Every structure is written in C-alpha cells, then in structure tokens.
Amino acid sequence: MKTVHFTKMQGCGNDFVILDYAEYRKSGMFMSDLSRKLCDRHFGIGADGLIIPDYKTNEADVGWYFYNSDGSTAQMCGNGMRCFARYLYDKKLIEKQEFTVKTGAGIITPKILPTNEVTVKMSVPILEVEKIPFLGNKALNYELKLNDITFVGNAISMGNPHFVIFIDGNTMDNAKKYGSQIELNKLFPEKTNVEFVKQISRTELELSVWERGCGITLACGTGACATVVAGILNNFTESKVLVKLPGGAVTIEWQGQEDDTNYPVYLTGSADYTFEGDFIL
C-alpha cells in the first residue's frame, strides 16, 4: 500500500496540501495528476492547491512547485506563500525568519512574525498589457463587455494575471455569476483571476475572488494585492489597506503611485495548520 505524508494548511480559508519533495517522489505520479487527486474535496484531502518544496534552486534559499486543484500551475499565490513559509520554518527546513523563495513570479521574500502571521514581500505590480498578458488597449479602467453588462476593470499582474472590478453591489454574487466568463474571456491569453470589490472606506475593502484554475475561493493573496494597487491608482484608497475576504482579512501596503509603480507590494496575514496525515494513493 503506497502512502504519502502531508500537511494541510490554510490562510484566510485559502487551503493547501503541502508535500515534502521526498514524499512526492514516493507517489510516482506527475505533479499535476497528484494535485488533482490530493486536492479533490470528495475523494482526496481537499484543497485549493498543492505545494511542494524545491531544494535544488541556486537562485534563492528555496523554491517551490505550486499547482492549482485542477492540475494547472500558478506563478504565485500569496496565501500559499505564507503557509509555505511557516511550514518550512516550523519544520526547521529553513532556519532564517526571513528568506527568499523562487517562484514563477520571481524571487519572493516571506518573513515570519512573532505572531502566527507572515509578511510577504511580493513582486512589483505589472501594468504593461503585453506582460500581464492582456489584449485590451489599456490596463486601467478598461470596459469589458459581456452579453448584457459592461464592467470597468483594471488588468494587473502580480506575477499572475488579475482583473479588478470595483462595484456597489454584492461582490460574491457577481463573482459567482460572472467570474468564469471573465476568467475565460479571449482578452486574457493565459486566463485571469477575477476580483469583485466594494469600497468600505479609504483604508478598508471587501473582496470576493473567482480564482483562475479554482473558481470561488475564500481568499486570494495576490488578488488582494492587485486590488489595493488598483485602488491606489484610482485614488480610492490610502497606501495601507485592510482587505476583508470571505475567509478572513489581510493587510496590504504599497507605496507606488500612478507615475511610479516600481515598488513591491507587502502582504501580511495569518497562516494556520489544519491537520497532518498519511494519504493512501
């Protein structure tokens, strides 16, 4: 009987299976197939994604392999990075409280705080349409027309593509109704994450996310980052914002502005263990 030992973690309800590389090798499966199997909420452990450390990188202290529940890869995941950082530190796989991780979005720097929270120095946001990638003629305040409605959204990459839409209505209802259509819209060659946002104040936002490769999730760290960048560039928010998601809240800080966006985004939030166990393949 073949088994793999796993750790289950969550950040604001965005949940992940973390598997050491040696355990992955025991599975004898491709990572994409293993992700679909382990993340299945009926026949597997259940999660939004699978994370496996990569100890062989020379460009950072450690790397990672990140797979969505549908077996697709993602360049970056803010909530996953917080969980991954705590896992490595608590398991004594990394001894430093602040270290570097190689991801598909570049080198990311998490820092373990004295509480159960982790601050992640994310990448600089990308607004050049060809780099997002986005086939619209501009990134900010683009009018995207669906069958019976037009959304004004902001295309931003945090190493992965996002389309941020500020609305007055119910964010979750809109995410459920329109998220999939926008994710798969031909304007997004690599598909996109979709954020529906309601402004509560200049320092507080409410956010619901349709996540690329997952669907509705309780939280999305890169989505919260992209949302605050869009809020600042549209002069809706200050530089430090509390973002409330269905699974909890995160704090986002960004010092950029319209004529100078070359600043990293800082994401702070919790990272919690759910359980550990052995899964029979």
Instruction: Return the closest-CA partner of residue 204 out of 252, 263, 269.
Output: 252
- The tens digit of pLDDT for each residue in 128-178 reads 999 999 999 999 999 999 988 999 999 999 999 999 999 999 999 999 999
- Mean pLDDT rounded to a whole number for the chain: 96
Taking a C-beta distance cutoff of 8 angstroms, is the pair 195, 220 a contact? yes
* Opening angle at CA 146, ends 143 and 151, nearest 5: 35
* Opening angle at CA 138, ends 135 and 141, nearest 5: 115
Residues annotated as part of the active site:
77, 220
| pLDDT interval class at 99 (50, 70, 90) | very high
Is the bond into 133 cis (omega within 30 degrees of 0)? Answer: yes
Quote the pLDDT of residue 137: 97
Quote the pLDDT of residue 34: 97
Taking a C-beta distance cutoff of 8 angstroms, is the pair 64, 49 a contact? no
Statement: residue 267 has pLDDT above 90: yes
Percent with pLDDT over 70 in the chain? 100
- Contacting residues for 115 by C-beta, under 8 A, at least 6 apart: none
- The tens digit of pLDDT for each residue in 210-256 reads 999 889 999 999 999 999 999 999 999 999 999 999 999 999 999 99
Average pLDDT value for residue range 98-112:
96
Q: What domains, with CATH codes, occur in the chain?
A: 3-110+271-280 (3.10.310.10), 142-263 (3.10.310.10)
- Contacting residues for 7 by C-beta, under 8 A, at least 6 apart: 17, 18, 19, 87, 273, 276
